[in-house]
Structure 1
Amino acid sequence: MYDEAKVKEQPTQTVAAIPAIADTFTPDILEAACKKSLKQYHMPFYKTVYKAAENLNNQKELEKFKETNKTTGIVRGADYYRQEEISL
């Protein structure tokens, strides 16, 4: 990444900012996002890595949601079916 930069200090800010993504996402997602970003771009920016991590996290949550729905279905609580008394 440093070798391909036009200005040698250019990637330093991105490299310093990427660990902050680990505060939001798990280290596994961060690692996968970095790999994905490096495959797509020769010098990824913070935003690129963050968006990749966000997309991977959304896919993971969607898979978890689908697994839960297979076993339980979409169930609404009693509050949804409770009827309000109408006062006239």
Structure 2
Amino acid sequence: MLLAHLLNKAEIIDANTELKASKLELVDSTKGKLSKNIARVKEQADNVKPADTGKPVDKKSIKGKHSNFFAGFRRLPPSPFSDYD
């Protein structure tokens, strides 16, 4: 009985070490893929150039586009529960 218990425990420990080793391999392969992706994204970001139209930015025109933001929203009808407030 004790021998069977010890053998079972040894099998569990062996399985745990195999699982840990496979996890480490997975982490190593993931790190390699991530570092390649990060390098690719950094390279793409370095190649991005700002758009140059040659005209100065008119802040009034930008402000005018966003000043009417809430004009498209309708007011909600009064709540039927407003008497209970």
Kindly indicate which of the two structures has a greater share of residues assigned to helix: 2
Larger Rg: 2
Q: Same fold (TM over 0.5)?
A: no
Q: Structure 1-normalised TM-score? A: 0.35
TM-score by length of 2: 0.36
